[in-house]
Chains A and B, each alone.
Chain A
Amino acid sequence: MTVRERLREKISAAFYRHGLLCASYPVPIILFTSASILACCYPLLRLPLPGTGPVEFTTRVRDYTVPSHEPQGDLGERPDWYRGPPVAYIQPVLVKAAVSPWDSTLVPVDVFRSPLGRVFSLLEEIRNHVHDDGSGVRSLEALCLQVTDLLPGLRRMRRVLPEHGCLLVSPGNYWQNQRELFDSDPDLLKTVHQHEPKGLHTSATLRDLLFGVPVKHTGVSLYSRKRVVTYTITMVLGSYDARFLSSLRARLRQLHPSVNCSLREDHMVHVHFKEEIGMAELIPLVTTYIILFAYIYFSTRKIDMVKSKWGLALAAVVTVLSSLLMSVGLCTLFGLTPTLNGGEIFPYLVVVIGLENVLVLTKSVVSTPVDLEVKLRIAQGLSNESWSIMKNMATELCIILIGYFTLVPAIQEFCLFAVVGLVSDFFLQMFFFTTVLSIDIRRMELADLNRRLPAEAGMPLPKPGPLRPREAPPPPRPSPHTITLQTPAFRNLRLPKRLRVVYFLARTRLAQRFIMVGTVIWIGILAYTDPAGLRTYLAAQVSEQSPLGEGGAGGLPPHLGVAPVFPGPGGDPASTLSVLPAPAEPTPLPENQSQGRHGAPREGVPHQAPPLVPQISWGVEDEEGWRKLSFRHWPSLFSYYNITLAKRYISILPVIPITLHLSPREAIETRHPQDTRHPPPPSLKTNDLPADLTLYKVAALGLAAGVLLVLLLFCLYRVLCSRNYGQNGVAHGRRRHGDLPCDDYGYSPPISEISPLLLRGHSMDIECLASDGMLLASCCLAGQIRVWDTQTGDCLTVIPKHGLRRSSSSGCWEQRDGWDAVGVAEPENLGGGTEPGGGVFDEDEGYPLRRRTTPRPALFENQPDLTPLIDTNFDSQPPSHLLLTPPRDGFDFGGLVEKAYLEHEPPSLGLTASYPSSSPLSGPPPQRRRSLGYIQPPAPQGQGTPDWESAVWAMELRGNLIAAGRSNGKLELWDAGEGSLRCSNEDGVSGITALAFLNNRLVAARLDGSLDFFTVDINKPLGLLQYRGPPGRSNIPPSPCYSSEDVISCQLTRSVQCAHQKPITVLRAAAGRVVTGSQDHTVRVYRLEDSCCLFTLQGHSGGITAIYIDQTMVLASGGQDGAICLWDVLTGSRVSHVYGHRGDVTSLVCTTSCVISSGLDDLICIWDRSTGIKLYSIQQEVGCGASLGVISESLLVTGGQGCVSFWDLNFGDLLQTVYLGQSSDGQGVRQLVVLNNAAIVCDFGSELSLVYVPAVLEKLD
């Protein structure tokens, strides 16, 4: 145990130091890591690139010996596959035959019938050739590769391919190597064609196999312009006998001399074939890769709270990939050549190595306190996870070790790789990824700083103290009636599926890239398999450039340019005459070439009829004619006999050239009776067409495919975007479920049919809101409390500010009247302000101000906007100074501004200095009201000035009673219906920062951290007790309504003096519990009955800023550290602890299934309550993050800039956005209260908006 602990400590310390190192010197470490990656990958350069293309190696024929099996070290250029005997030796005999001279009496079939007929005699010759030297008699039968049955699936080829004997392939196979069948065949072309597969094919066809040259070059066609037939007799030899082959070569040469043929015969080419990947193998491979990518996707998706999510995901993938590369490189370096198929085991390696460590690291680092230095954060994060990382690594190594002892070679190799991969991955994680993470976090902090800076710079707020959360920067003014969600917000949303598909396509330009890649691949396939003669074209171009081009190819470059598909010289009279009248004149070569056995007769007349002699030329391209064949030619030939060439090689011997010149007479003799019935050769124009037909075919195919693709995309577009985004308004007044406002499409959401009810009357910004479902009480900065009926929106009661300074100038009041018509009658009455000591009740009759006024339009707009004049920077202007300024007497319009300034200053001063709330702001002046750290006692009090102003800091409404806690520590109970003060308690002197009103208990939290429990007693006949309104939300017990006759007393039952060491920021009561959260990082739970402290919950590393408790005893708390804790109220234990926000958690709501939190980062996160997994998040507008409420189990409402939005909680879909009015845009909704009857009240500026949401509710049911 102790050893373990010590080990753990050591590891954690080491990781801590390592983290510090990485974060301190990011650039050198990244450079070092890159260098080491490159160094480790260097041995990979020697490995062959993956691919299925064959590899060649050329040796000399002269001193060829079969290579031995043992690898020999000294042969540098010899590839490592060149070991042992080849599968077979290929001896091609290339035959070029022509009927010469061409006679006009000949029919097109004569071009190839008699030349093809000669194959049988040649075959006879080859088969019967016997070489006899001293050692013995050798024949082809002894040397050739004996084949047995064809594969069972190839019955249809049985007639054409040799079985049970020598593998000797020639065009004669079409006719079973029997001359009689050939002679009696009426249509040779049909015989050849009938074995061709239908459709587009990319591999070798039977015709290619038998002719041994590409189809285009055979010349077996009715429209051949060259009239030279080319084919190959392919001998496949099992063993190599140089003497037999040379004697055969000599014999054939002697029989059919090819004059002017200077083909090199001294090199043989060994062709090594890679492992073929068939479709059948490809499918599982593709599946594993798909799984791999899904794994990577789901893993990297979890990276959160970093500056660049994609950057880190990329870094993670790079880490894994380069660790794999490093491991392969290291293994090669130490002589472990991989025999496993790398592509196959790669996904499994990635899965074994995994991305988990990377994610764990990221999570651990981002969950360290934000206010630490980056270095320390990285170090802490690393050391937090060090133990688990090491443990995991040790476990994996153990597993691999076990795997190593299975003694299966393949598994052993895999394990070896995996070990090296794991170690290198660990290395990279520690050095590369950690450093990248530190850079990223630093960037994030910089960005944070930049984002916050303008907020602080613009802090002298333009408005006289609107109640704003700390993060509120001057909100950007959005254009009216557009959703002002920022675009990145879309990333966080769960969009409807089709939109997401569209976004995905648009974001990644997937379709475009797909088409591009597809085109490239298609072109690649075309070039590789050569259906359109692209290669020939290129070869022709090359031979045109090179001086090596012999014969006609060299002599007629311009002609080649015209008809590049035909490398040979134009033998066609018309062509020659029309295009190049005398191309043959300067080239005496053709005559020489045609001096075969039958060439002599025409020798004398080259000038008269040069084109009539089909010229047989031998060029370099004939040396290795097999190169023009598909690279699958040989594998497919051998695979017919179930011989695989994968990972083996064949040796191709130099070509034996044979030139045949046949006389017209011979051609006529071999003619079949039906041959003459063929149509005469068509004219020149049509001659061109079939030749280039493949090109046209391919082009047409491509065109068709393109058109099809366009049509498909168009359909897709129509299906996906059937809605006309340009229109708005009438067509769809209410947005349907799942539709999103998409600014990208220029779509502006329509004016909603939910029209909010505006409650106007307050002259200044509204501070406190309280509601019990039926009634709504609001208190503005001016100290005026208004009570509204939530059903109708009527203002029931106005309780004006009662603490006016006696010396208020009348001018100010008149001015005030102009602004606020409601308060017009009472200013002088109100003048009798309350002293801190008492005298409140003296003016009781002066207060009642019972007006059932409909909300009137505020006249505030008509007045000059004085807001910019008000400076809330109180440090530069000491309050005492202001207070001493003698007020001016009399009405002076010119001094209006100044008076207004003076009039407004004190309240805003009091409130700004006072507002009880959340987070500490250490040194700086109290610029933000919500976020005030040190809640100073209001300046007027501190200086002993009369209590002309004691602001309402907290307000609660239950039944008919409004409980108001004031900054001077006074607790007042007002009758909501009549607006009369029913009771007051002044036991405490410290300002009341929070109030909770439950049943007849009243709890007040004070500024000094004490907690007072009051009991509200009603002395009244029970019969008069009535209940107002249906108890809407289950967690609010029905509150008794107090009638005006009752005598209400409020007694302090208990005061907990030092409930917290620091000011209490949050106070919530439900289910018989009172929960307080304080700046001292703790949450305390009290029993309401006996005010006994049950638990002190510790777990936050910052002040508590938000608490949620409801009737079901769910307790959640959020702190300044961005953490959210769920507690069990019964046991006081922490259920879960998640980090979700950068900065304070500003509000928290729970439903039965999830927890909704909002933070200073304007992000609303929705968490799964049971698992603590973040489901999704919603990016709010700047400054509106804190306003949210839950209407029902699945309906979330959030405030925005001049609007409120409704969200489906289950899916994160935006259901609807309601605009609060034309004039209101630009003002953020800062508070949001959900009432019973599904109305929400939000406060923006000096107005309240009442929004009924039946529309949304009915849809949800």
Chain B
Amino acid sequence: MPRLEEHCWSRSCASRVESKNLSAGNWVASRAEEMMSIVTTVLSNAYGSLHSVRAANLIRRGLVLFTVGVVLALVLNLLQLQRNVTLFPEEVMATLFSSAWWIPPCCGTAAAVVGLLYPCIDSHLGEPHKFKREWASVMRCIAVFVGINHASAKLHFANNAQLSLTLAALSLGLWWMFDRSRSGFGLGIGTAFLATVITQLLVYNGVYQYTYPDFLYVRSWLPCIFFSGGVTVGNIGRQLAMGGVEKLHND
């Protein structure tokens, strides 16, 4: 089953990287095509291997992580948008989906990939993660992550350097509180780097823009958010991998 993961991972990565090089015109078309092919391959793979329990488990985990990613993306986007939000209830749905439609699915996919990658790497390295492995800790982790986002959106800092430093310290604290593993740190850094690069590319291509860019057209605290997000999602993924989905409902 790791093959499937890697497949997804490489395919999605490839699609992202390739698509950047294309011109803006047929970018959308190529992307849609890529997505469709990914979806069909994944689906066919999934359907073919549904018989094995492990694959089903993997897909279930992936789905849970995807959902978590989508929800987090929507909520955090909303948090970021709050300053400009007016008081019209009828516009909530508009603001909820105000950013591009493909952002939440992308975040979901990324969350699924990262969340599946964490336990996978753990098992490959042969050092299972045992630090605070329980759902309460995971919930705490998610809460702290949302809190970091909240802080980045709501607090007024003197300058951007201060904001970035604070957020970096907070992200490191998050990692120290809930992860404390080398692989987690490395993967978090990798995620942050990759995601920042992708965002940068997107911004350069004009696909996406920030209202208040402060560093090379993006917000400078973005890596911190990505890092803590990676750690959080990895935490969820590990917990899911450890207990299986059934323990989520275990009361």
For chain B residues 146-198, which have a beta carbon within 8 Å of chain A?
Answer: 146-147, 150-151, 154-158, 162, 166, 169, 173
Shortest CB-to-CB span from A444 to chain B, Å, is 22
Which listed residue (A294, A351, A402, A406) contacts B147, Cβ 8 A? A351
CB-defined contacts of A298 to chain B, threshold 8 Å: 134-136, 138-139
Q: When A298-B134, A351-B140, A408-B166 are in contact, do A280 and B251 touch as well, CB less than 8 Å?
A: no
In the assembled complex, the Cα of A636 lies from the Cα of B246 at a distance in Å of 48
Shortest CB-to-CB span from A282 to chain B, Å, is 9
Q: Does A321 contact B (CB under 8 A)?
A: no
**Would you call B136 and A291 a contact (CB within 8 A)?**
no
**Would you call B87 and A284 a contact (CB within 8 A)?**
no
**Would you call A284 and B146 a contact (CB within 8 A)?**
yes
For chain A residues 749-777, which have a beta carbon within 8 Å of chain B?
Answer: none
Which listed residue (A284, A295, A407, A642) contacts B75, Cβ 8 A? A284
In the assembled complex, the Cα of A406 lies from the Cα of B159 at a distance in Å of 12
Q: When A280-B96, A302-B136, A399-B173 are in contact, do A153 and B78 touch as well, CB less than 8 Å?
A: no
CB-defined contacts of A284 to chain B, threshold 8 Å: 75-76, 78-79, 82, 146, 150
Q: Does B250 contact A (CB under 8 A)?
A: yes
**Would you call A354 and B140 a contact (CB within 8 A)?**
yes
Q: When A302-B134, A639-B86, A1171-B133 are in contact, do A406 and B146 touch as well, CB less than 8 Å?
A: no
Provide the A287-299 mask, 1 if CB < 8 A to any CB of B, else 0.
Answer: 1100110110011
Q: Does A635 contact B (CB under 8 A)?
A: yes
In the assembled complex, the Cα of A799 lies from the Cα of B78 at a distance in Å of 82
Provide the A1145-1179 mask, 1 if CB < 8 A to any CB of B, else 0.
Answer: 00000000000000000000000000101011000
CB-defined contacts of A402 to chain B, threshold 8 Å: 169
Of B86, B142, B158, chain A has the most CB atoms within 10 Å of the CB of: B86
CB-defined contacts of B76 to chain A, threshold 8 Å: 284
For chain A residues 267-306, which have a beta carbon within 8 Å of chain B?
Answer: 276, 278-281, 283-284, 287-288, 291-292, 294-295, 298-299, 301-302
CB-defined contacts of A276 to chain B, threshold 8 Å: 87
Shortest CB-to-CB span from A989 to chain B, Å, is 52
Q: Does B124 contact A (CB under 8 A)?
A: no
Shortest CB-to-CB span from B157 to chain A, Å, is 6
In the assembled complex, the Cα of A635 lies from the Cα of B88 at a distance in Å of 11
In the assembled complex, the Cα of A281 lies from the Cα of B169 at a distance in Å of 26
**Would you call B143 and A408 a contact (CB within 8 A)?**
no
Which listed residue (B130, B138, B146, B169) contacts A287, Cβ 8 A? B146
CB-defined contacts of A1071 to chain B, threshold 8 Å: none
**Would you call A280 and B156 a contact (CB within 8 A)?**
no
Shortest CB-to-CB span from B171 to chain A, Å, is 13
Which listed residue (B87, B134, B143, B157) contacts A635, Cβ 8 A? B87
Q: Does B85 contact A (CB under 8 A)?
A: yes
Q: Does B89 contact A (CB under 8 A)?
A: yes
In the assembled complex, the Cα of A407 lies from the Cα of B134 at a distance in Å of 34
In the assembled complex, the Cα of A1074 lies from the Cα of B242 at a distance in Å of 34
CB-defined contacts of B151 to chain A, threshold 8 Å: 410-411
CB-defined contacts of A406 to chain B, threshold 8 Å: 162, 166, 169
CB-defined contacts of B96 to chain A, threshold 8 Å: 280, 283
**Would you call A153 and B88 a contact (CB within 8 A)?**
yes
Shortest CB-to-CB span from A203 to chain B, Å, is 7
Shortest CB-to-CB span from B51 to chain A, Å, is 14
In the assembled complex, the Cα of A278 lies from the Cα of B91 at a distance in Å of 10
The chain A residue with its CB closest to the CB of B173 is A399
In this complex, how many residues of chain B approach chain A with their Cβ under 8 Å: the count is: 45
For chain B residues 15-50, which have a beta carbon within 8 Å of chain A?
Answer: none
Provide the B208-251 mask, 1 if CB < 8 A to any CB of A, else 0.
Answer: 00000000000000000000000000000000000000110111
For chain A residues 1164-1200, which have a beta carbon within 8 Å of chain B?
Answer: 1171, 1173, 1175-1176
Shortest CB-to-CB span from A595 to chain B, Å, is 46
Q: Does A64 contact B (CB under 8 A)?
A: no
Shortest CB-to-CB span from B2 to chain A, Å, is 21
Q: Does A151 contact B (CB under 8 A)?
A: yes
Shortest CB-to-CB span from A420 to chain B, Å, is 19
**Would you call A283 and B173 a contact (CB within 8 A)?**
no
Q: Does A813 contact B (CB under 8 A)?
A: no
**Would you call A280 and B78 a contact (CB within 8 A)?**
yes
The chain B residue with its CB closest to the CB of A410 is B155
Which listed residue (B139, B146, B155) contacts A408, Cβ 8 A? B155
CB-defined contacts of B139 to chain A, threshold 8 Å: 291-292, 294-295, 298
Q: Does A494 contact B (CB under 8 A)?
A: yes
In the assembled complex, the Cα of A1210 lies from the Cα of B250 at a distance in Å of 12
For chain A residues 378-420, which have a beta carbon within 8 Å of chain B?
Answer: 399, 402, 406-408, 410-411
The chain B residue with its CB closest to the CB of A396 is B177
Q: Does A718 contact B (CB under 8 A)?
A: no
**Would you call B136 and A411 a contact (CB within 8 A)?**
no
**Would you call A1211 and B143 a contact (CB within 8 A)?**
no
Which listed residue (A287, A351, A494, A636) contacts B144, Cβ 8 A? A351
Which listed residue (A344, A399, A410, A1173) contacts B156, Cβ 8 A? A410
**Would you call A1211 and B246 a contact (CB within 8 A)?**
yes
The chain B residue with its CB closest to the CB of A281 is B82
In the assembled complex, the Cα of A151 lies from the Cα of B85 at a distance in Å of 12
Provide the A854-883 mask, 1 if CB < 8 A to any CB of B, else 0.
Answer: 000000000000000000000000000000
Q: Does A348 contact B (CB under 8 A)?
A: yes
Of A279, A408, A500, A1175, chain B has the most CB atoms within 10 Å of the CB of: A279
Q: Does A497 contact B (CB under 8 A)?
A: yes
The chain B residue with its CB closest to the CB of A293 is B139
**Would you call A291 and B143 a contact (CB within 8 A)?**
yes
Q: Does A846 contact B (CB under 8 A)?
A: no
In the assembled complex, the Cα of A806 lies from the Cα of B24 at a distance in Å of 108
In the assembled complex, the Cα of A276 lies from the Cα of B96 at a distance in Å of 18
The chain A residue with its CB closest to the CB of B86 is A639
CB-defined contacts of B251 to chain A, threshold 8 Å: 301, 500
CB-defined contacts of A279 to chain B, threshold 8 Å: 89, 92
For chain B residues 77-115, which have a beta carbon within 8 Å of chain A?
Answer: 78-79, 81-82, 85-89, 91-92, 95-96
**Would you call A408 and B157 a contact (CB within 8 A)?**
yes
In the assembled complex, the Cα of A1235 lies from the Cα of B45 at a distance in Å of 42
Q: A287-B75, A295-B140, A494-B250 are in contact. List 5 more A-B contacts (CB 8 A).
A: A278-B86, A292-B143, A497-B249, A639-B87, A1171-B130
Q: Which 10 A-B pairs have the closest CB atoms?
A: A295-B139, A298-B136, A298-B135, A279-B92, A299-B136, A351-B143, A280-B85, A348-B147, A294-B139, A291-B143
Q: List 28 A-B contacts (CB under 8 A).
A: A276-B87, A280-B82, A284-B75, A284-B79, A284-B150, A287-B75, A288-B147, A288-B150, A291-B142, A291-B143, A295-B136, A295-B143, A298-B134, A301-B251, A302-B136, A344-B150, A347-B143, A348-B147, A351-B143, A406-B166, A408-B158, A408-B166, A410-B155, A411-B151, A494-B246, A497-B249, A639-B87, A1210-B246
